[in-house]
Amino acid sequence: MAKRSLSSLSTEDLSGKRVLVRVDFNVPLNKEGSITDDTRIRAALPTINDLVGKGARVILAAHFGRPKGQVNDGMRLTPVAKRLSDLLGKTVEKSDSCVGSDAEAKVQAMNNGDIVLLENVRFFSDEENNDAEFAKKLASLAEVYVNDAFGAAHRAHASTEGVTKFLSPSVAGYLMEKELQYLQGAIDEPKRPLAAIVGGSKVSSKIGVLESLIDKCDKVLIGGGMIFTFYKARGLSVGKSLVEEDKLDLAKALEEKAKLKGVQLLLPTDVVLADDFAPDANSQVASIDSIPAGWMGLDIGPASVKVFQESLADCGTVIWNGPMGVFEFDRFANGTNSIAQTLASLSSKGCCTIIGGGDSVAAVEKAGLAEKMAHISTGGGASLELLEGKVLPGVAALDEVA
């Protein structure tokens, strides 16, 4: 069912109302405590600005890191409040706690258009336990609920799911709406041919998504460390490459499933090898049936890049999740960078290119091509679960379109 969005609420609905907005501000910090990438904060601005413009009193709830239910001074949201203030050009007050007297006092003092950022909700174990009393306390600060934290939507926590039982309406923010529109749309009503590029080091972390994508896609292209489990399952020698011995039967089954369904399952035909897992390792290109002992595969090879590019050329929709190799090492980044450039080029020709969260987002940003993609997902686990066809609790809890 389609979920009700913030766009359905007018100034009349929101002016003077206290609105609890769940955002995903789990941003990386350096050792000095400065934010190194504010993408997630920027992604929430359309929702925040819309609410401010409609005269709402905006109460932001977020988590940061994994404090495990304990107050941790290194995981306070102070740097986030500062960066958000800079981005908005207005003061964002921060409470000392997400519930209790300080939060209540700061909310009470709000005027229309003001913004308060509540302290890290995960300082309370009740948040992750989705405790009903804690959810009720959090909800009591507000009258309306907006969930714009797609990156946390696969968790049934108090601030993502529990509060909806006490607040009405409960709607999707603009980022959440966009994520669902692209990711759900790509699976349910794609412009075909639909291709998925799945990378990363382990088959085990992508089993569900691979099975689901083979059911829905016309083509599935596999790269990253997981390819060696498929090769070993075929009886090939893989040298020192990463292999999940307990997933060999699964790899065979996935290839068989694709064949039965008439889905083109492409694995690289050549790989870039290294004699050590290091940025300055010696390297060589080898065909997949002649990988020497003592060498490990760290990228897809140049011939494979060409085959992948040819396969993608006629696609209407491409979903990419996971790098083709160890792109953090420049010597082994060509496969990942080439795929990023290919997708950027396809985007300009009208192909719907979706970067489905995680390391592939970092790879596209490192290549300076983020702006060229149709959609870059802010969710790692949430994107994967949605692509697997799972119901996300944070989405399910929102009001449906009447």
Give the DSSP letter string of 326-368: -TTSGGG-HHHHHHHHHHHHHHHTT-EEEE-STHHHHHHHHTT
Strand partners, 376: 355
- C-alpha separations of 382 from 18, 29, 171, 179, 356 in Å: 28, 22, 18, 10, 9
Q: Which two tokens stand for residue 58?
A: 């905006």
Separation of alpha carbons 368 and 394, rounded Å: 31
Instruction: From 328, 269, 326, select the one nearest 299 (Cα to Cα).
Output: 326
Separation of alpha carbons 387 and 198, rounded Å: 12
pLDDT surpassing 80 at residue 313? yes
Q: Which two tokens stand for residue 183?
A: 């990711």
372 contacts 149 by C-beta, under 8 angstroms = no
Q: In whole numbers, what is the pLDDT of the chain averaged over residues? A: 95
Cα 218 to its chain centre, rounded Å, is 23
Strand, helix or coil at 116?
strand
Q: What is the pLDDT of residue 396?
A: 96
Q: pLDDT band at residue 69, thresholds of 50, 70 and 90?
A: very high
Separation of alpha carbons 93 and 112, rounded Å: 14
98 contacts 20 by C-beta, under 8 angstroms = no
Q: Which of 32-36, 217-221, 248-252, 351-355 has the lowest mean pLDDT?
A: 32-36
pLDDT surpassing 80 at residue 358? no
Q: Which two tokens stand for residue 367?
A: 């290549």
Q: Which residue has the higher pLDDT, 362 or 172?
A: 172
Report CA torsion sign: 236, 237, 241, 242: positive
pLDDT surpassing 70 at residue 349? yes
pLDDT surpassing 70 at residue 1? no
Q: Which of 31-35, 174-178, 224-228 has the lowest mean pLDDT?
A: 31-35
Mean pLDDT, range 55-67, rounded to an integer = 97
Strand partners, 395: none
Instruction: From 66, 77, 70, 74, select the one nearest 125 (Cα to Cα).
Output: 70
Q: pLDDT band at residue 384, thresholds of 50, 70 and 90?
A: confident
Torsion of CA 174, 177, 182, 185, to 10 degrees: -160
Mean pLDDT, range 245-266, rounded to an integer = 96
Q: Give 371's DSSP letter.
A: G
How do residues 201-211 score in pLDDT, each as one tens digit? 888 888 888 99
Q: What percent of the chain has pLDDT over 70?
A: 99
The reported pTM is 0.86
In the numeric block, the tokens 């955002």 are attached to 23
Q: pLDDT band at residue 268, thresholds of 50, 70 and 90?
A: very high
Mean pLDDT, range 51-79, rounded to an integer = 96
Strand partners, 211: none
188 Cβ contact list (under 8 Å, min separation 6) = none
pLDDT surpassing 90 at residue 357? no
Mean pLDDT, range 195-206, rounded to an integer = 90
DSSP 268-282: -SEEEEESSSSTT--
How do residues 123-154 score in pLDDT, each as one tens digit? 999 999 999 999 999 999 999 999 999 999 99
How do residues 293-309 score in pLDDT, each as one tens digit? 999 999 999 999 999 99
Strand partners, 224: none
Catalytic residue numbers read 40, 202, 358, 381
65 contacts 29 by C-beta, under 8 angstroms = no
102 contacts 95 by C-beta, under 8 angstroms = yes
Q: What is the pLDDT of residue 356?
A: 85
Q: pLDDT band at residue 390, thresholds of 50, 70 and 90?
A: confident
Instruction: From 56, 32, 61, 31, select the one nearest 44 (Cα to Cα).
Output: 61
- C-alpha separations of 193 from 134, 156, 160, 319 in Å: 47, 34, 35, 11
Q: Which two tokens stand for residue 347?
A: 């985007």
Backbone angles phi, psi at 306, to 5 degrees: -60, -45
